[in-house]
Structures are given as structure tokens and as C-alpha cells.
């Protein structure tokens, strides 16, 4: 059993936060997961779910998403077990098929 990290992009879009605040919150949360939810040698990674409900391709808060994901790929490499994108519109599904080829598989 692995901990689950859920990112609701619709809520993130409505939030009045800066990319720096988003980075600080996600880094704090991931550090919390590592210290409180992972078991060394048994459970060392997590599952992420990105909920895209009611978010179109042009509405994705790109700066916030980039502020959250890029540092996590570098600082917490190999911690992500699986990433599931749910409730995505068809345009986002097409873009994801292209983008996932660019994401480091050990992320």
C-alpha cells in the first residue's frame, strides 16, 4: 500500500497563490509524506492523482503546475510510483500522450 498524493487542478486554478507558495506547499507535503507515510525498505514511493475535472487545456495553471512538478522531479527522484490523470478532456489526453514521452521515467 502506498500513500496517494491528489492534485485537484480545478481548485489550484481558483486558488490565489503564487508559484512560490505552490512550490513551498508541495515540498512541505512531500517531506511530510516521506517522514510520516513511507516505510524505509518497504514503502518508499507514492501514487499521484491529478484531477482535471472542469479544466480545459487553456485553463491549466501552467506556472503553478510547473512550480510544483519541476522541483519535485529533481528533489524527489524515483519517489513517484504511478501518475494517474483523471477527468481530463480529450485535448488534454492528446497533449499528455506527447508530454509523457518527455518526462523522466525515474521521476
Q: Say how far apart CA 65 and CA 88 lie, in whole Å.
A: 15
pLDDT digits (tens, 9 = 90+) for 80-96: 898 888 998 887 778 77
Q: Which residues pair with 86 in a beta bridge?
A: 51
Contact 51, 7 (CB under 8 A): yes
pLDDT digits (tens, 9 = 90+) for 23-47: 898 889 889 988 999 999 999 999 9
- CA nearest neighbour of 69 among 48, 45, 42: 48
Amino acid at each position: 500500500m502506498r500513500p496517494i498524493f491528489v492534485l485537484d487542478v480545478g481548485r489550484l486554478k481558483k486558488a490565489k497563490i503564487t508559484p512560490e507558495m505552490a512550490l513551498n506547499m508541495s515540498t512541505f507535503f512531500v517531506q511530510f509524506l516521506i517522514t510520516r507515510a513511507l516505510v524505509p525498505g518497504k514503502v518508499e514511493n507514492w501514487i499521484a492523482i491529478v484531477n482535471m475535472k472542469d479544466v480545459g487545456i487553456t485553463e491549466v495553471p501552467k506556472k503553478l503546475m510547473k512550480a510544483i512538478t519541476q522541483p519535485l522531479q529533481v528533489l524527489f527522484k524515483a519517489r513517484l510510483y504511478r501518475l494517474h490523470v483523471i477527468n481530463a478532456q480529450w485535448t488534454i489526453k492528446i497533449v499528455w500522450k506527447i508530454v509523457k514521452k518527455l518526462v523522466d521515467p525515474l521521476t
